Every structure is written in structure tokens, then in C-alpha cells.
Amino acid sequence: MTHVAQEKWSSGTAFLLAAIGSAVGLGNIYRFPYVVGENGGGAFVLLYLGIVAFFGIPLVMTELTIGRRKQLPPISAFTALSEGKKSQPFWKCMGWINVLTPLGILGFYFVVSGWTLNYVYSMISGQLNNLVEGQTLKVFTDMQQSPLTLIFWMTISLSITAFVISRGVKLGLEKAVKILMPMLFLILVSLVIYSAFNGGMRETFEFMFTPDFSKITGKTVLEAAGQAFFSLSLGSATMLVYGSYLPKKESIPKLACGVAFADTFVALIAGFAIFPIVFTNGLELDSGPNLVFVTLPIIFDQMPFGQLFGILFFLLLAFAAVTSTISLFEPAVSNLEERGILTRGKGSLLVGIGLWCLAAVSALSMNILSDVRLLTFSDTVASKNIMDILEYMSANAMMLINALFAGIFVGWVMKRKDVLEELGLDDSLLFKFWRVIIKVVVPVVISVLILQLFELLDPLMAFIL
Ligand code: TRP
């Protein structure tokens, strides 16, 4: 096989911008506020912060280490690092799963990022002006019922992403995040300031930071962990590939903390942009996925400069989504390029076409194909359409499995000395603590989460006890 040398980020800052761009996405601005709302606020936020600190940061370090050690994308990286081991075929297979997982995520992510583009357009054209309650819901459901609208905006979102990828690491990815990330930050800050002037900050503080632990159940823990992993772009080759472009002199622990900190900060800030508006208008916090697309437009319509605020808000979502779809698209192309199978341009085109088909099926599962069921092994999955199953399998199941095996790989398969060298740490207490988390705590906890996800935990406990 002809290995093709990979490009590198031009600096640690470029990596940081791209990795934060990957981490900050629909997960932070669309999903985080509504899961916090659904799960009752404070206790969930605290749990989330704990998971990011104890599992998130160590796992980001783990994935960056696998990627940077040989500066190779997932399949080659796992294969090269397990050279001479009997388990090598298994790890090669894990490399494959790592590359396929983000494609599954993109199957639904492109559809939702298409919604955000559609809403930018609807806001600008005034289609969301003068609507009363109930009508914004109709706009949202009408969009979901229209295959053409969904596919049109999904195609735009996919084409922008494929174009950026086809231009390569420095000219494509780096350039895109250098433009988009500062804009994203500016918009976010102006939205929070705007929200602060409209009241509701005190209620937001209380809601987000007063924990009511009676709200925590096994399901909440699973939800918080899933949200944290998704938000940090873990368990799906993204961090691994971004790490493989990272120059050797940059410190992985520092950068991992930077990414996790920025990602969490943006999620919290998104709460502070959204909740005050919801509080001052006496609306429901627990409207789930409808929070951003149905509840907010009602309020934008009534606020001073609401239309401008609305345009900025959906633009923010769209920017956040693009920098994330880029990171989900890159692993497959990087893999094809490095293994000498296809050039970057052809690879982007081929992966783009495949993903278009997948995302189109996922868009149609909201209308024409809404009755099709792929899995029926439990009541939970039997109620899910194709798009929901895609999300369940990739963004929950596969992501957890990949994170689990990334931990096992770095903890048990890679040489301690190599890991220490790659992290650039002394053989200190901090390193030992990290290693225990990765070797023991992560495998145990994630295994329990996987059992819980497939609803096997209760039967297993009943069997054991
Ligand atoms: N983290 C992004 C978000 O919060 C989505 C994302 C990008 C992602 N790359 C990923 C999720 C890799 C899981 C794995 O929206």
C-alpha cells in the first residue's frame, strides 16, 4: 500500500480553532439547552460538568494520542500501533468502525444543519414574522413534511462541507475555521448581551446552577454522558484525525483541556442566551427538540429587533454546524487519501455522494418513509424511524463503543512509555491518575452505559442479585 503523507495544522492555535469548531456544534446550541430543560436544570448541569472533567478531558487526550503517535488516520493508526500483537485484526476493525461512525452521524446531522440554513432564509425573508403560537409549530412540521425542502437545504449544507474538505487541511479546514469561529463567538456574545437586557438572567442562574438531585436517575446519567461525549466529538475518529495533523511539539493535555473548556463554556453560554428569553415570556423549558425551532421564533417575533436577533441566532447555529460537519466528514477522506486509494478531491466527491444518499433517506424518514422500522428489538427502538435509529446507533451506541475501545487501546495495548512521551507529561501523579481513569474507570463506566443503552442493565442486575 502506498501511504501518502498527511498535511499538518500550521500551528497549535489552528488545531485549537478546528477542534473547538468540531466540538461546538448543534450539540451545544440546539441540543444542550433542551436536554437541560427536559432534565430539570441544575443537577443535570452539575453531572454534565463532572463527566466532562473526569471522562471527557481524559478521553480527548486518549484519542489525540492515538492519532498523533504515528500521525496516521484511524485504520492505519490502529493497525500500526498494534503491530506484532495477536489482537491486530481486531484493532484494524476498530479503525474501520471509527471511520464509519461519523458517516452515520452525518446521515442525520446534515439534515438538521439543513434546517438551520432553512431558518436563516425564513428569518431573512420574513416568513416567521407575525406568527402566533401554534403557527411556528406548523412552519416546523411543514418543513419536516416537505421532502424537497429538506433535501434542498441538506444538499447545500453537504456541498459546502465537501467543498471545504476537498481543499485540504490548511487551505480548506483551517481557513474555514479561522473565518467562522471568530464570527460564531461574536454572534454568541452579542446574543447573550441582548438577552441580558431583556431580563430573566436571575431565573436562568437559579435554573442552571441549583441542583435538585432527586431528578437524577440512571437514564439521566446516560443522557448526560451521551451529551458530553457527543459535544466533545468523542468516539468517532474526529479527535483522532485532528490529532494526526497536530505537530509533535504541541502539548496534548493542554490542548485537550482548552477544547473541553471552550466547548463547555459555549454550551453554558447558549443556555444563557436562550433561557432568559424563555423565562421572561413564561414559556415552557421542557419543549424538547422544539425549543429552538418552535418556541424561540414566537418570541423573536415579539422582541425589539427580534428579526435581526433571529437571523443572527440561526446563523450562529448554521456556522456551528458547518465546523462540526467538516470534522465528521474529514476522517473518511483522510483515510482514503492516506492509503493512496483516492485523491482528496475524488474522495470528497465519492464520500459526498454516499452521504447524500444516506442523508436523503434520513430526510425522507420524516415524511414518506416515516412508517419504516429498521429495528424492533425493544420498545424504545421500535418507536424510532430511520433517522432516529441512525442517531441511536451512531451517536449513542457506536460512539460509546469507540470511546470504550480507545480507552482500552491506550491503557492496555499501547506501551506506557510511548503514551507518556506522546502526552509530554512527567511520570507524575497526574499521569498515573489519568492512566487509572483510562485503564479501569472508563472501561467499567462505559460498559455499564452501553448495557443501560440497550436496556440490558436491569435484566443483568436481576440475574446477578
Ligand atoms: N460535537 C459536535 C456537536 O456538538 C458534533 C460532532 C462533531 C461530533 N464531530 C463529532 C459528535 C464526532 C460526535 C463525534 O454538535
Domain boundaries, the chain: 12-464
What does 136-185 look like in DSSP terms, one character per residue?
Answer: HHHHHHHHHH-HHHHHHHHHHHHHHHHHHHHT-IIIIIIHHHHHHHHHHH
CA of 119 to the centre of ligand 1 (A): 21
Residue 4 has a pLDDT of 82
Whether the CB-CB separation of 40 and 220 falls below 8 Å is answered with no
| CB of 102 shorter than 6 A to ligand 1 | yes
pLDDT at 461: 85
Q: What does the alpha-carbon distance between residue 161 and residue 176 come to, in Å, rounded to a whole number?
A: 10
105 C-beta neighbours (distance < 10 Å), count: 25
Helical (H) or strand (E) element with 61:
helix 57-70
Residue ID of nearest Cα to ligand 1 atom 6: 233
Q: What is the pLDDT along the chain (465 residues), one digit of tens a residue?
A: 677 888 999 999 999 999 999 999 999 999 999 999 889 899 999 999 999 999 999 999 999 999 999 999 999 999 999 999 999 999 999 999 999 999 999 999 999 999 999 999 999 998 888 877 678 899 999 999 999 999 999 999 999 999 999 999 999 999 999 999 999 999 999 888 888 888 889 999 999 999 988 888 888 998 999 999 999 999 999 999 999 999 999 999 999 999 999 999 999 999 998 998 888 888 878 777 888 998 888 888 888 888 998 999 999 999 999 999 999 999 999 999 999 999 999 999 999 999 999 999 999 999 998 888 888 777 778 888 999 999 989 999 999 999 999 999 999 999 999 999 999 999 999 999 999 999 999 999 999 999 988 888 888 888 888
Which residue's CA lies nearest to atom 10 of ligand 1?
A: 233
Q: Say how many Å lie between the CA of residue 465 and the centre of ligand 1.
A: 38
Domain 12-464 CATH assignment equals 3.50.50.60: no
Note the pTM of the prediction, 2 decimals. 0.94
DSSP secondary structure code for residue 248 in this structure: T
Cell numbers placing 230: 457527543
Cell of 172: 480548506
Nearest to 187 by CA among 314, 30, 25, 24: 314
Contact status, residue 174 vs residue 18, Cβ threshold 8 Å:
yes
Give the per-residue pLDDT at 1: 65
Give the Cα separation of 247 and 149 in Å (integer): 42
324 lines ligand 1 (CB under 6 A): yes
- Can you state the angle between helices 74-81 and 88-124, rounded to 10 degrees? 160
CA of 133 to the centre of ligand 1 (A): 32
C-beta of 230 in contact with ligand 1 (< 6 A): yes
The answer, yes or no, to whether any atom of ligand 1 lies below 6 A from the CB of 295, is no
Within 10 angstroms of residue 170's Cβ, the number of other Cβ atoms is 14
DSSP H/E element including 78 = helix 74-81
d(CA 434, CA 441): 10
Question: Which residue among 103, 324, 393, 401 has the greatest number of ligand 1 atoms within 8 angstroms of its CB, and so is best to mutate?
Answer: 324
**Whether the Cβ atoms of residue 244 and residue 6 lie closer than 8 Å to each other:** yes
**Segment holding 411, helix H or strand E:** none
Best residue among 238, 239, 240, 259 to mutate for probing ligand 1's pocket (most ligand atoms within 8 Å of CB) is 238
Q: Which grid coordinates are listed for 84?
A: 506484532
DSSP for 261-299? HHHHHHHHHHHHHHHHHHHHTT--S--TTHIIIIIHHHH
Closest ligand 1 atom to residue 327 Cα is 9
Chain centre to alpha carbon of residue 354: 21
| Helical H segments across 393-428, by residue range | 399-408, 416-423
What lies within 8 Å, CB to CB, of 415 at 6+ separation is none
> What is the predicted pLDDT for the residue at 194?
86
What is the distance in A from the centroid of ligand 1 to the CA of 326? 10
Q: Return the ligand 1 atom nearest residue 324 CA.
A: 7
**Pocket lining: 299 vs ligand 1, CB cutoff 6 Å:** no
Residues 6 or more apart whose CB falls under 8 angstroms from that of 356 comprise 154, 155, 158
Residue 356 C-beta-side C-alpha neighbours within 13 Å: 17
26 CA closest ligand 1 atom index: 15
The pLDDT score that the predictor gives to residue 132 is 74
Closest ligand 1 atom, residue 232 Cα: 1
Q: Which atom of ligand 1 is nearest to the CA of 229?
A: 13
Q: Is the CB of 20 under 6 A from ligand 1?
A: no
Which of 108, 234, 236 for mutating ligand 1's site (highest number of atoms within 8 Å of CB)? 236
23 ligand 1 Cβ < 6 A: yes
Cα angle 429, 430, 435; round to 5: 95
**233 alpha carbon – ligand 1 mean position (Å):** 4
3-state secondary structure of 55: helix
What are the backbone angles phi and psi of residue 82, rounded to the nearest 5°?
-110, 20
Distance 436 CA to ligand 1 centre (A): 26
